[in-house]
Structure 1
Amino acid sequence: MSKLADILLDPTLRPELLTACEGLVDAEVASKRGLASLPIKGGFKAVKAVSPAFIRQVVDALFDRFVEQLEPSYAQWIESGRSGSFGAHLQRHDLAVADALLAVTDQRARQSQMRSVKKVYDKLRPSAQGHVRAGVPRMGQVLDRYVK
C-alpha cells in the first residue's frame, strides 16, 4: 500500500503544495466573520507584520509532520476501498483530523523561541479546534488535487 508521504512529500511538488497551503490559510482567515473573528484576523495580521513570509515558513516547517499525522486517515481511506474522495473522508473525521494537526502546532508552539508568536498562539488556541475543523473541507480540496 502506498503512503500519503510518498505522494505529498515528493520534492518536485513541495513548492506547489506550500503555495496551495498558504492560500488555504489565507482563505480560512479571510472567511472568518463576526466578533469572534477579530482575534484571529488581528493575530494573523500581527504575525504577518513580524514576517511577511512567516506563514509559508511555518507551513514548510510543519508540512512533513502534518502529512505524518494524516497517514492514519489515509490508510483508513485506502482500507475502505477509497470510498469517495480523500477530502470527503477527512471531512467525515474532521474532529480527529483537527486534533492530529493541532498536536503538531501545539508542539511547535511549545518549542518556539518567538515570544510574540507564542503569545498569539496561546491566545487563539482555545478556539483552534473549531477553526481547524472548519478548514478541513478546504484542506481536503487541496489534497484531492494530488491524492486520487
Structure 2
Amino acid sequence: MTATLSDTLLRDDRRTALIDDLTTVVDQEVSDKHGVSGAVIKTAYAAAKKMRPGLVPGALNRMLDDFVVALDPMYGDYRAAGGAGFGPYLVSRSDEASEALLSVSDGRAQRTSMESLRKVYEKLRPTGRKNVAEALPRLGAVIEQHATAG
C-alpha cells in the first residue's frame, strides 16, 4: 500500500522544513502580485505580519494537517495516474484544489479570535480562488518535493 500524503508530510521530522518552504511559497506569491489588487494584498500581508510576527508559519503549522487531508485524495489520484508533476496536476484541477484549500482557511478565519485578521481575510476572500489557483504550481512542487524526499 502506498503511503498517503498525510503519512508522509505530517511526520515530525518533516514538518518544520515543509512549513519553511510553504512560508516561502506564500512570500513569493504575495511578492508576485501586481496592480491595484496586488498592492492591496501586499499591504494587507505586510500589516498582518507586522501585527503578529511569525503569523504565516504559525498559521501554516496550525492548518497544515487540514490542508494535507484536503489534498490527500488529489495526490492519490495524481500518483495513480502517473502525472508529470503535482503542481501541473493541481492546476488541471484548479477549481477543486482551490476550494479544498480555501475551505480550510475559511473555517479558520471564522474561528479566529483576532477580529482584525478576520476582517482582512474577509476583504481578500473574494479573490481567494484566483490567488490560490495562481499558487498551485509552486504549492504542488513543494508538496511533491517533501512527499518524495528520502
Q: What range is the shorter-chain TM-score in?
A: over 0.9
Deviation at 1:88, TM superposition (A): 2.1
**Residue type at the aligned position of 2:38:** S
2:104 aligned with 1:104, yes or no?
yes
Number of the residue aligned with 2:64: 63
Number of the residue aligned with 1:72: 73
Aligned length: 147
Deviation at 1:11, TM superposition (A): 0.8
* Aligned pairs (5 A) from 1:1-148: 1-80=2-81, 82-148=82-148
Cα offsets for 1:67-114 (capped at 9, x unmatched): 00001101211332x222222211211221110000000000000110
Query: Taking structure 1 as the reference length, what is the TM-score of the superposition?
Result: 0.95
After superposition, the CA RMSD in angstroms is 1.1
Query: Taking structure 2 as the reference length, what is the TM-score of the superposition?
Result: 0.94
Cα offsets for 1:19-64 (capped at 9, x unmatched): 0000110000000011111211111011011111011100000001
- What is the DSSP-based 3-state SS (H/G/I as helix, E as strand, rest coil) of the residue aligned with 1:84? coil
Which runs of 5 or more residues in structure 2 are unaligned?
none
Residues of 2 paired with 1:25 and 1:78: CA distance? 25
Q: Is the 8 A contact 2:85 2:141 kept in 1?
A: no
- What is the DSSP-based 3-state SS (H/G/I as helix, E as strand, rest coil) of the residue aligned with 1:12? helix
Deviation at 1:119, TM superposition (A): 0.6
Higher relative helix content: 2
**Residue type at the aligned position of 2:40:** P
Q: Is the 8 A contact 1:86 1:147 kept in 2?
A: no
Residues of 1 paired with 2:54 and 2:33: CA distance? 21
| Percent of paired sites with the same residue | 32
Residues of 1 paired with 2:88 and 2:126: CA distance? 26
